[in-house]
Amino acid sequence: MAKVGKLTKLKSAIKKWPSFPKLNRTASSIAAANESDEASKELHAVYVGKSRRRYLVRSEIVDHPLFQELVDKSSGEDGTDDGVAVACEVVLFEHLLWMLENAETQLGSMDELVEFYSTC
């Protein structure tokens, strides 16, 4: 029954989201597991979900209050020496990055967003 509640919550949140045809993936929002010389000092490693998928995220995103709150709620996750771990589904994390990179602020309160992303 808990899955039904989460699915209902997800469905409700998705209805609030603006539609977007394709996520624009930039060097700051997603990076393959392989490292490159392009990673500069302003990019921070973030490990997401159970699979620990690695993202390189710009400092402006890492410093955003919503991102910081998500990291705080995920504090039970084990990070690594070179990054932090976030307890969130990969697809939801990618959407969060898209919202933050596109200054999408019309989606309700920050508390609701943090609660949603940290419980999925």
Provide the pLDDT for residue 47.
94
Q: Within 10 A of 107 (CB to CB), how many other CB atoms are there?
A: 14
Q: Where in the chain are the domains?
A: 2-119
Summarize the confidence of residues 63-78 as an average pLDDT.
82
pLDDT tops 60 at residue 10: no
Query: For the chain, what is the mean pLDDT?
Result: 71
- pLDDT at position 29 is 47
| Residue 80 falls in which region: left (phi positive, over 0), alpha (psi -120 to 50) or beta | beta
Tens-digit pLDDT profile for residues 35-56 = 444 445 689 999 999 999 999 9
- Overall CATH class of domain 2-119: alpha beta
